[in-house]
Amino acid sequence: MQMEAIIKEQAQRPPLYLDCIHCGLCLSSCPTYRVLGSEMDSPRGRIYLMRAFDEGRAKITDSFVEHMFRCLDCRACETACPSGVHFGHMMEEMRGTIVEERPAPWIARIVLKHVFPYPWRFHLASRMLQLYRASGIQSFVRSSGLLHRLAPRMARAEALMPDIEFERGVTLDTHYRAEGRKQGTVAFFTGCVMNSMMGPINRASVRLLTAAGFDVMVPGEQICCGALANHAGLRDTAKGMARTNIAAFPVQKLDAIIINAAGCGAMLKEYPLLMEGAAEFSSKVKDITEFLASTRIFERLKNPLDQRVGYDDPCHLIHGQGIKSEPRKLLKAIPGIQFVEIEGADQCCGSAGIYNITQNELSMEILDRKMEKIQKAEIDVLATGNPGCIFQFRYGAKKFGMKLEVVHPVELLARSLGDSNEHH
């Protein structure tokens, strides 16, 4: 049944892997290849394996699965690829196939092997589990029998996490009014993590949007974007979530749909790859920095911030959405700020969704390299626009004993907001 569907799909368009001509220009852009130096942990090698599977030369073995899931899905390779290979999409499809062919046990094995024995990872996992409930993986995880085993220890883990903020974000079904003359209307996509664990970021985002002159509506029916489910190979779950979200937003009445989490933004923009009828919705999706950079927000940045600030590109912003200059332009516009370019800012921090749990050692090695470069930059504040990355860097700063504040760019922008001087 499923094989038939695959065959049918293949017949309709040439396989995506044919776009890859094995030149290898992607290699050094890949965070796992940079650490491991092994071809099967490179974009080219993974595509080679996907092709070999498709041609019947490789089977979905343990090692096959391992290499597919070791990928951070950061898409740096897409930015490097001259042939425009849709790597992220292929990887998601491949993972979908893996999940279909080999249900559940693999994730249980990974988690049991790599999470259970380590307290810190366990903390992280429990925190992330909160996310899973919203993300739709929950039922899947439960079916693996994993939750059952984790549950008794989960409460304890929660208690050990004093540094996670649980402030409320923005309220659903609310309409925030523009300050000064209204420029238009946007909808805000709250994201599950942002609104539950990083509330202040969402509040800052809405504040900036209204300060820039936009009415902001927050549709109540919206749910998780589905990215984590999609990256994990749960295609159907992701499709269902996309459908709900598309229905939740009155697209035609909106100038834009604003999202401040890079991972969610990339997903929302790529709904059309997942299903039909998503094009109009996706065309309206804008990252908060992408959108703000084209507004009059600049004239509102009045309060000086006398700090050395660095910026790290979230993979799903720079590689997934091609957004690089806008956040920099906004940050540099803050009076008094000393903007520092960090070496290798476009390289993955190793967070990558649940990666820092499933592939902890590798994730930590990638993070170590990153933190060394951040240390070299001698900054007070690091800004980055994705929740996973923010968590990862906060952990990194702690691990390295650095005095470093890690924030979302909107938090800095909001701090710099002067009072509105428009009174008409």
Rule CB under 8 A: is residue 38 a binding residue for other proteins? yes
Residue from the set 13, 56, 84, 423 that interacts with other proteins by CB under 8 A: 84
Q: Considering the complex, what minimum distance in angstroms separates the CB of residue 341 from other proteins?
A: 13
Rule CB under 8 A: is residue 211 a binding residue for other proteins? no
Q: What span, in angstroms and rounded, lies between the C-alpha atoms of 392 and 369?
A: 13
Say whether 214 sits in a helix, a strand or coil.
Answer: strand
Q: Which two tokens stand for residue 161?
A: 């996490």
Q: What span, in angstroms and rounded, lies between the C-alpha atoms of 264 and 190?
A: 10
Q: Considering the complex, what minimum distance in angstroms separates the CB of residue 104 from other proteins?
A: 21
Residue from the set 5, 9, 10, 22 that interacts with other proteins by CB under 8 A: 22
CB 220 within 8 A of CB 172: yes
CB 172 within 8 A of CB 190: yes
Rule CB under 8 A: is residue 81 a binding residue for other proteins? yes
Residue from the set 19, 158, 255, 365 that interacts with other proteins by CB under 8 A: 19
Closer to other proteins at the Cβ: 14 or 162?
A: 14
CB within 8 Å of 160: residues ≥ 6 apart: 119, 123
Closer to other proteins at the Cβ: 61 or 420?
A: 61
Residue from the set 54, 79, 199, 307 that interacts with other proteins by CB under 8 A: 79
CB within 8 Å of 350: residues ≥ 6 apart: 31, 72, 356, 362, 363, 364, 365, 366, 367, 370, 392
Closer to other proteins at the Cβ: 64 or 395?
A: 64
Please choose, out of 47-55, 97-105, 278-286, 298-306, the segment that lies near other proteins by the rule CB under 8 A.
Answer: 47-55
Radius of gyration over every alpha carbon of the chain, rounded to an integer in angstroms: 21
Burial (CB < 10 A; 0-12, 13-18, 19+), residue 77, is buried
DSSP, res 125: H
Burial (CB < 10 A; 0-12, 13-18, 19+), residue 251, is middle
Rule CB under 8 A: is residue 247 a binding residue for other proteins? no
Residue from the set 61, 283, 294, 325 that interacts with other proteins by CB under 8 A: 61
Rule CB under 8 A: is residue 48 a binding residue for other proteins? yes
CB atoms closer than 10 angstroms to residue 324: 16
Q: Considering the complex, what minimum distance in angstroms separates the CB of residue 151 from other proteins?
A: 33
Closest by Cα among 204, 358, 166, 218 to 292: 204
Residue from the set 5, 6, 10, 57 that interacts with other proteins by CB under 8 A: 57
Closer to other proteins at the Cβ: 84 or 117?
A: 84
Rule CB under 8 A: is residue 141 a binding residue for other proteins? no
Q: Considering the complex, what minimum distance in angstroms separates the CB of residue 13 from other proteins?
A: 13
Burial (CB < 10 A; 0-12, 13-18, 19+), residue 100, is middle
Rule CB under 8 A: is residue 49 a binding residue for other proteins? yes
Closest by Cα among 184, 236, 261, 191 to 215: 184
Q: What are phi and psi of 94, to 5 degrees?
A: -60, -45
Q: Which two tokens stand for residue 163?
A: 């540094």
Say whether 400 sits in a helix, a strand or coil.
Answer: coil
Exposure string of 20-54, with b = 16+ CB inside 10 Å and e = fewer, is beeeeebbebbbbbbbbeeebbbbbbbbbbbbebb
Please choose, out of 14-22, 143-151, 230-238, 334-342, the segment that lies near other proteins by the rule CB under 8 A.
Answer: 14-22
Closer to other proteins at the Cβ: 25 or 159?
A: 25
CB 341 within 8 A of CB 309: no
Q: Considering the complex, what minimum distance in angstroms separates the CB of residue 24 from other proteins?
A: 4
Q: Considering the complex, what minimum distance in angstroms separates the CB of residue 51 from other proteins?
A: 10
Q: Considering the complex, what minimum distance in angstroms separates the CB of residue 28 from other proteins?
A: 5
Rule CB under 8 A: is residue 325 a binding residue for other proteins? no
Closer to other proteins at the Cβ: 284 or 328?
A: 328
Residue from the set 23, 160, 161, 172 that interacts with other proteins by CB under 8 A: 23
Residue from the set 72, 74, 76, 80 that interacts with other proteins by CB under 8 A: 80
The site that binds other proteins (CB under 8 A) totals a number of residues, namely: 39
Rule CB under 8 A: is residue 26 a binding residue for other proteins? yes
Rule CB under 8 A: is residue 52 a binding residue for other proteins? yes
Residues that bind other proteins (CB under 8 A): 14, 18-29, 33, 36-40, 44-45, 48-49, 52, 57-59, 61, 63-64, 67, 78-85
